[in-house]
Structure 1
Amino acid sequence: MVERLSLREAAGVLRRRLWLVIALSLSTALVAGILSFFVLEPQYEYSSQFLVNQKSPRGVTGDDIRTNVELINTYKGIIHSPIILDGVIKELKLKMPAEKLREKINILSEESSQLVTVKVADPDPERAAAIANWTVRIFQMKIPQLMNVDNVKIISEARVEADSQPVFPNKGLNITIGIIIGTIAGAGIAYALEYLDSAVKTERDISEKLHVPVLGVISHIKDQDFASVRRSRAGRQNGRRNAIDVP
């Protein structure tokens, strides 16, 4: 039958094995730090935006807006198609296949919005920005030929800042998660060791494990206390011998 620990007993277990919890927390934090700083490849993310808006001499109607919004899903597929990706690879002289380039490009648009964002993640910030910009530029050039419409307008292009920071990995978050995982693992191992430990340490252990009453307890005597008792006893014995020797 599994024994239940009270809050006081649980706190006592953690207190006795605090070194284990701290050691595991520091170890997992160290591993997370090493992975974040030296192993995982940094990724920079840049985006370019375009607006889907049909030019019309009679003005833009509600039907035009709905049509433009419906076209966005089609446009997403076109952006990921070889006709656009191959053009980007050729323009930037990229040494990667179209499939790998497709994995770097993420296309976002809110529901009922005509604005489309093309995000690109890459270890090189300059290349990430260039891919985002040229993907939108080539798409804008190709769409009149493919769809027989001219309704794409570039709103903003990616610009590389001097102090740009990678979006991945999040070093602080990874280390924090490592500490949390290490603490939880350390506490779990501490309780497991306590449960598996069958040694008798207290009179309560005797009562609970052997189901017998405790009739008496021998107090623990420290070495210095024991030495003091021996010196005191030796002094009394010497005193008695001296008293006997006196005529």
Structure 2
Amino acid sequence: MVKKQRKPLTEVLKIMKNKLAFIMMATVIGMILASLISFLVLEPQYEGTAQVIVHQNPSEETTAPLADQAKTLTDTYKEIVLTPAVLEPVAQGAEKDLSYQALRDQVEVRTNDESLVLQIAVVDNSPYAASDLANQIASSFAKQVGEIYPNSQVKQVADAKTHTEKVRPKPILDILIGAGLAFLLATLWALWQAYRDKTVRSEEIVSEMGWQLIGVLPEMSQTQVRETRFKRKGRSANSDDSKRRI
């Protein structure tokens, strides 16, 4: 007789079906926690972005292709923006107390390999401070580049504007992440509990193990359990009455 092999995927789906209420409850709790953290705990962050362009005067000594020159220069300028020479004067002149490292953590420089345009983005909990810091960093960068590379000219082509739309947190994304993590953890917990449970719960397992089935105890509902208890109490009461009469 050929034994039927149970497919792992079928077993997983069966376990998930049995624990569906728990998994769904955990998912809802994860969504609620994520929304509370996103709306009440995390501080809103705003971004200000200034654009600068660097123009280098042609040099007779330069023989590299223009594309390679642009890539090298943008990488170099990106590093210069994040140096203490550029950021420390801005941090010292800021309205709130800022260290060089704290300001550096707020700054992101975005470059394009095909051009010499740099985007200096600053993230802050104030939209006005974010735009102001971005403009100050652009001005400080233009000054420092002129001293380091006399042949280079920096021009700010776009000032940072004040945007009141926050860039993070993003509640919808946070809620989806919270729901996904809660669903995953609840599913893994359900599978782990099923793996640890060594109880034989079906005749199929007995057949697969090659054991001999002696008998099966039917599962009783709560109503049947209550009726059985009531009958036992009735029999016990009748027995006591009979003994008293004797």
State the TM bucket, normalised to the shorter chain: 0.7 to 0.9
Q: Distance in 1 between matches of 2:71 and 2:18?
A: 64
The alpha carbon displacement at 1:51 in A equals: 1.0
Give the match for residue 47 of structure 2. Answer: 45
Q: Which moved more, 1:17-26 or 1:136-145?
A: 136-145
Name the CA shift for 1:203/1:69 in 2 (closer, same or farther; >3 Å).
closer
Name the CA shift for 1:140/1:11 in 2 (closer, same or farther; >3 Å).
closer
Counting only pairs closer than 5 Å after superposition, residues 180-195 of structure 1 correspond to structure 2 as 180-195=180-195
Q: Distance in 2 between matches of 1:63 and 1:213?
A: 82
Letter in 1 for 2:99: P
1:211 and 2:211 matched: yes
SS in 2 for 1:166: coil
Letter in 2 for 1:186: A
Counting only pairs closer than 5 Å after superposition, residues 49-68 of structure 1 correspond to structure 2 as 49-54=51-56
Give the match for residue 237 of structure 1. Answer: none
Give the match for residue 223 of structure 1. Answer: 224
1:113-152 CA distances to partner (integer Å, 9 max, x unpaired)?
Answer: 1111111111111111111011112222343344324511
The alpha carbon displacement at 1:9 in A equals: 4.1
SS in 2 for 1:12: helix
1:126-182 CA distances to partner (integer Å, 9 max, x unpaired)?
Answer: 111111011112222343344324511111111113xx3222222211211221122
Give the match for residue 168 of structure 2. Answer: 168
SS in 1 for 2:168: coil
- Structure 1: state its 5+ residue gaps: 57-61, 231-247
The alpha carbon displacement at 1:25 in A equals: 1.2
Q: Distance in 2 between matches of 1:78 and 1:216?
A: 79
1:79 and 2:86 matched: no
Q: TM-score, normalised by structure 1?
A: 0.72
Give the match for residue 106 of structure 1. Answer: 108
Name the CA shift for 1:15/1:65 in 2 (closer, same or farther; >3 Å).
closer
Q: TM-score, normalised by structure 2?
A: 0.72
- Contact 1:32 / 1:175 at 8 angstroms: preserved in 2? yes
Give the match for residue 143 of structure 1. Answer: 145
Greater Cα radius of gyration, structure 1 or 2: 1
Name the CA shift for 1:74/1:212 in 2 (closer, same or farther; >3 Å).
same
Give the match for residue 126 of structure 1. Answer: 128
**Identical counterparts, % of pairs:** 23
Q: Distance in 2 between matches of 1:218 and 1:63?
A: 84
SS in 1 for 2:179: helix
Letter in 2 for 1:130: D
The alignment of Structure 1 onto Structure 2 pairs a total of residues equal to: 219
SS in 2 for 1:116: strand
Q: Distance in 2 between matches of 1:103 and 1:85?
A: 11
Letter in 2 for 1:185: L
Q: Distance in 1 between matches of 2:108 and 2:219?
A: 72
Q: Distance in 2 between matches of 1:110 and 1:33?
A: 36
Backbone CA RMSD of aligned residues: 3.4
- Contact 2:135 / 2:160 at 8 angstroms: preserved in 1? yes
